[in-house]
Chains A and B, each alone.
Chain A
């Protein structure tokens, strides 16, 4: 029989805090981590983004008292994973039954820049080397699996973890995702004219582009019931990915790819759209993405389900997004609280959606997280509170 995958610990590192609880509390009171930055390290012109203060990262990382030097991305991953291990000391990261899965789009891409060039070995640019560094730091005996699938990487990594836990090979999978805020990424999205001059406005009538962000998120998944503590269990119930087969840098206008991923996810869970309590959308606040989502959400009969986007809090954190946003969904279930969408004022998509404006309490027994990305990819994952 297939085994269940439960989430037993989680961490978020973002400009809003270094734990999931700190981040969730900030979102509850609708405080954003996105602000205006004027630094040539990111862009030649001012840019709105969510950036972790280097001073704060240094202070937190110094507490670990490590001898070796690590890149900014590695520091985030080590801090984030360490926090989840503290939460659940019975997790044995050194066990051959524990696997680490990393989700990132650009990894240590800052090392390509003129400022960072030569500070680390050239191998450090390869994503598999990030996997080696993390595994060796934690003495994990398995080869780390790296998922790099644009903006659905985080959701995909959680789905992969769930699927691998259905079999007996592993009993614990640590899924961690991170991406940095760099000139590389900012200039790329600017070249697409996709970056808003303000904090982004998901699903809003005046939305005009994304805000980028930097974050790291970690979830620990297990199929070993003995590792689960507390009365409530969070189950990774089902998940699926798909491709629009439409355009490499634009979503399908009909939302058919995302519809397929959502349908397969509901089908696997044997649930109907009316059973869903909450949708954590992708909501990048570009014209095309949010419009595509409105088509897909309506196309799957989910238009009345309370939905939000967290991009106006964290920015678009690329490879971290699916994990960070799933964790907020998990805490929404645990606290029976739905987070309002910061900066959402007036509906601005063709098919009306039930966008949550202000944070409120509600019964939240499940959460459907969706994502879409360059290359035409889409994904959905469903979490259930037991």
Chain B
């Protein structure tokens, strides 16, 4: 029998706006050339007290602020065992922003030396690690790359995790950052409807993502 899973809460950060569920909860006052400034202003506005944020690359910073807003609204770590919460995220540009940064240290050796603080961010799944560490989440991990958000694959794979009992809750979605363009869409998928109560299907995901 097919079980029903739900998109319970979602957070979207795009074009200087932060959406939680269907409301805009923060807007950039004036457009910054560097989106990193916007991420920092979100961090400060919501008073996330987590100094490690400043060590992260912009991709992880974006994932961090989206996950904080999502998990403040839906306290999944209080509802489920931390071993039963999975994190499944994908993006388009992998870690190319930090890759380019690290490459500079090889190409321009006079002004740069390779740094472990940069190199560690040359893997896209580090952002999954950052969310896991912050929330002490220990369940399944996966990071996928697609040219654009793939609601079909995302919904199918996450439903299979939930239906087989490999996870009771999944923090899922899309976090992309490259060359000043950014897009974050994170949500929780559970067996209970939550605030949004949309069925966890490709169609519903596409509706909420767009």
- The docked-state distance in angstroms from the alpha carbon of A1 to that of B102 is 48
**Interface presence of A31 (CB below 8 A):** no
Categorize the interface residue count of chain B: 35 or more
Closest A residue to B166 by CB, please name it: A240
**Interface presence of A11 (CB below 8 A):** no
CB-CB contacts below 8 Å: A353-386 with B: 373-377
Are A127 and B94 neighbours in the complex by a CB distance under 8 Å?
yes
- The docked-state distance in angstroms from the alpha carbon of A128 to that of B147 is 6
Nearest chain B CB to A123 CB, angstrom units: 9
- The docked-state distance in angstroms from the alpha carbon of A127 to that of B147 is 9
**Residues of chain A within 8 A of B93, CB atoms compared:** 126
Interface residue from B83, B103, B122 paired with A242 (Cβ < 8 Å): B83
Are B120 and A377 neighbours in the complex by a CB distance under 8 Å?
no
**Residues of chain A within 8 A of B107, CB atoms compared:** 113-114
**Interface presence of B138 (CB below 8 A):** yes
**Interface presence of B133 (CB below 8 A):** yes
- Mark contacts of B119-153 with chain A using CB atoms, 8 A cut-off: 1 yes-contact digit, 0 otherwise: 11011111011101101111111111111001001
Interface residue from B102, B128, B140 paired with A375 (Cβ < 8 Å): B128
Tell me the dominant secondary structure on chain B's binding face: mixed
Are A248 and B129 neighbours in the complex by a CB distance under 8 Å?
yes
Given contacts A149-B142, A246-B133, contact A192 B92 (CB under 8 A): no
Nearest chain A CB to B181 CB, angstrom units: 13
Given contacts A146-B144, A167-B160, contact A377 B125 (CB under 8 A): yes
Are A148 and B124 neighbours in the complex by a CB distance under 8 Å?
yes
Are A149 and B160 neighbours in the complex by a CB distance under 8 Å?
no
Given contacts A148-B144, A242-B139, contact A248 B102 (CB under 8 A): no
- The docked-state distance in angstroms from the alpha carbon of A188 to that of B122 is 9
Are B120 and A113 neighbours in the complex by a CB distance under 8 Å?
no
- The docked-state distance in angstroms from the alpha carbon of A210 to that of B209 is 42
Q: Among B19-27, B34-42, B110-118, which stretch is in contact with chain A?
A: B110-118
Closest A residue to B86 by CB, please name it: A241
Given contacts A260-B83, A377-B125, contact A147 B141 (CB under 8 A): no
**Interface presence of B105 (CB below 8 A):** yes
**Interface presence of B68 (CB below 8 A):** no
- The docked-state distance in angstroms from the alpha carbon of A376 to that of B134 is 12
**Residues of chain A within 8 A of B138, CB atoms compared:** 242-245, 256-257, 260
**Residues of chain B within 8 A of A374, CB atoms compared:** 120, 123, 125-126, 129
**Interface presence of A247 (CB below 8 A):** yes
Interface residue from A145, A148, A190, A240 paired with B153 (Cβ < 8 Å): A145
Are A241 and B142 neighbours in the complex by a CB distance under 8 Å?
yes
Nearest chain B CB to A317 CB, angstrom units: 15
Q: Which of A188, A248, A260 has the most CB of B within 10 A?
A: A248
Nearest chain A CB to B109 CB, angstrom units: 8
- The docked-state distance in angstroms from the alpha carbon of A282 to that of B129 is 19
Closest B residue to A263 by CB, please name it: B83
Tell me the dominant secondary structure on chain A's binding face: mixed
Q: Which of A184, A240, A247 has the most CB of B within 10 A?
A: A184
Closest A residue to B126 by CB, please name it: A375
CB-CB contacts below 8 Å: B72-116 with A: 82-83, 87, 92-94, 96, 99-100, 102-103, 105-107, 109, 113-116
Q: Which of B141, B153, B160, B166 has the most CB of A within 10 A?
A: B141
Q: Among A104-112, A197-205, A229-237, which stretch is in contact with chain B?
A: A104-112
**Interface presence of A191 (CB below 8 A):** yes
Given contacts A240-B140, A248-B126, contact A191 B166 (CB under 8 A): no
Q: Which of A147, A164, A245 has the most CB of B within 10 A?
A: A245
- The docked-state distance in angstroms from the alpha carbon of A354 to that of B124 is 35
Binding site for A on B (CB under 8 A): 82-83, 87, 92-94, 96, 99-100, 102-103, 105-107, 109, 113-116, 119-120, 122-126, 128-130, 132-133, 135-147, 150, 153, 156-157, 160, 164, 166
Besides the known contacts A169-B156, A249-B120, 10 further A-B residue pairs in the complex with CB atoms under 8 A apart? A126-B145, A126-B147, A149-B142, A183-B106, A184-B103, A187-B106, A191-B114, A192-B116, A243-B141, A245-B133
The list of the 6 closest CB pairs from A to B, nearest first, reads A375-B129, A188-B119, A146-B145, A191-B114, A243-B132, A127-B145
22 contacts between A and B (CB under 8 A): A113-B103, A113-B107, A128-B92, A128-B145, A128-B146, A129-B147, A146-B145, A147-B142, A147-B144, A156-B141, A167-B160, A184-B99, A190-B114, A242-B138, A242-B140, A243-B138, A244-B138, A248-B133, A249-B120, A375-B128, A377-B129, A377-B141
